[in-house]
Amino acid sequence: MSDPRVAGVGLTHFGKHPERTGRAMFAEAGLAALDDAGIDPDDVEALFYGNFMGELAEHQGHQAPLMAEAVGLDVPATRYESACASSGAAIRDAVFRLRSGEADVVLVGGSERMTNIGTAAATDALSIAADDLYEIRAGMTFPGAYALMARAYFEEYGGSTEDLAEIAVKNHEHALPNEYAQMQQAITAEDALDAPTIADPLGLYDSCPITDGATAAVLVSEEYAADHDLDTSVAVTGTGQGGDKMALHDRQYFARTPATEDAADEAYDDAGIGPDSVDFLEVHDCFTIAEVLALEGLGLYEPGEAIGAASRGETTREGDLPVNLSGGLKAKGHPVGATGVAQLISITKLLEERHPRAEDVEGATTALAHNAGGTVASATVHVLQEVEQ
C-alpha cells in the first residue's frame, strides 16, 4: 500500500459571486487542477465531490455527475455531505480508493454557492447542520451554538474576548497576500473588540463570512506518478475521522471536541507520527473559538492552553506552530462544501514552496488539515507530508 500523491490543485477566488453557478465555479477549479497536474483528463477514474446546501441554495441535488460533466469527465461521481466537513470526507474516501488499488487517478473537490440567497436565508440553510427537532426549532444558529461553546470554555479554563480577538487579527494578517482570499484586509484587536456583537461573547470578527467558491485536487497513486514522471512531492500519509452527538445538550463536553480527538488519533496512527511532528496546519476556524478547540483536540495543546496561543505569538506565521497561513475560514472564506479541499490545497502549495507564505514554513515537511462539521459532530483530519520523488 502506497500513499496517494497530490498531482495538481485548483480553486476559484473565494468571496461573493452570486451571479455564478456552482457548476461554473467547480468547472474553473477542476480544470485548473487538471491543468496543474498536467495529466490527460481521460485518465481520471472517479470524482469525489463535497457540497452541503445545493438543494437549498440552487434547488439542485444529485450534483456530483453534474460537476463531472462540467469538468468534461465521464466517470462515476459521488457527492459527500457532512456539513462543513463535506470535502474532508470526500478526501478520505478518495485516499481509500487509491490505496486499495481500485483507481490510480481521482479528482476530489467541492463547491458551495451561498450569497445568492442572502444572509438570512444562508444562515437558515446552514442551521440544518444542527439538530432540527431540539436545536433549530428552538432558534439555534451556529453563531449562537459556538457562543455557548466559548462561554463554556471560558468558565472551565479561563480566557477572554481579547484572546479571541488576537486569533482574528492573526488570520486576517495571514490572508493579506492570498489572492484567493475573501478578506485581504488587516484588522487590529481594537477593531475586533469594538465590532458589533453577533452572539455574546462572539463579535463580527470572530465569525467567518458567507462565501461562494470551489476547489479541486488531482490525487494519484505513487505508481501512476512514477510511470508518468509527475512532480508529486506531497503525499497524504494519514487520514482519520471522528464523530460526536449532534445536539450540544446531548454531549459530555461543551469545551472539548471528541470528534477531532478521535480523528486526530486515527490520522496520527495512520501516518506513523505524533503531534510533535507537525510543523504547521490548517484548522477549521469557522469561529475564533473553533480554532482553540481544534488545536486542543488535535493534541497540540493541553486543554485550556490554546486560548492564549495567538496572543503569545505561537500560532502566528513567525511562531513555532503557524496556524491557518491561508487566512483560515475566518479570512480566506468558507464555501462550506469546498473548505476541506481548500485546506489540502493551501498545505500542498506551502510544502511545494509556491504559496505566498511559503517562506514562513521553510524546511517544513509535515502538516495537518482539520475539517469539522456543525458544532464538530463530524471531523476529518489528514496528514500531508513532503516525500521523496
In this predicted model, what pLDDT tens digit does every residue of 250-283 receive, in sequence order? 999 999 999 999 999 999 999 999 999 999 999 9
Contact 89, 241 (CB under 8 A): yes
- Catalytic residue (choose from 284, 334, 355, 382): 334
Residue pLDDT, tens place only, 12-61: 999 999 999 999 999 999 999 999 999 999 999 999 999 999 999 999 99
Tell how strand 213-220 and strand 105-112 pair up.
antiparallel
Which residues are CB-contacts of 109 (< 8 A; sequence separation ≥ 6)? 26, 29, 30, 33, 47, 48, 49, 50, 67, 87, 90, 214, 215, 216, 217, 338, 341
Global pTM exceeds 0.95: yes
Q: How confident is the model at residue 389 (pLDDT cuts 50, 70, 90)?
A: confident
The CATH number that domain 5-118+209-384 falls under is: 3.40.47.10
Is-catalytic flag, 84? yes
Average pLDDT over residues 73-95: 98
Return the closest-CA partner of residue 112 out of 60, 169, 71. Answer: 60
Distance CA 108, CA 50 (A): 8
Average pLDDT over residues 295-305: 98
Q: Which residue has the cell 437549498?
A: 56
pLDDT of residue 388: 82
Average pLDDT over the chain, rounded to an integer: 97
Contact 89, 50 (CB under 8 A): yes
Return the closest-CA partner of residue 119 out of 138, 135, 136, 142. Answer: 142
The answer on pLDDT for 100 being more than 80 is: yes
Distance CA 235, CA 6 (A): 6
pLDDT of residue 69: 98
- Catalytic residue (choose from 17, 84, 355, 382): 84
Distances (CA, A) of 103 to 44, 113, 117, 173, 308: 9, 30, 38, 40, 44
Distance CA 130, CA 345 (A): 28
pLDDT of residue 322: 98
Is-catalytic flag, 334? yes
Distance CA 280, CA 225 (A): 26
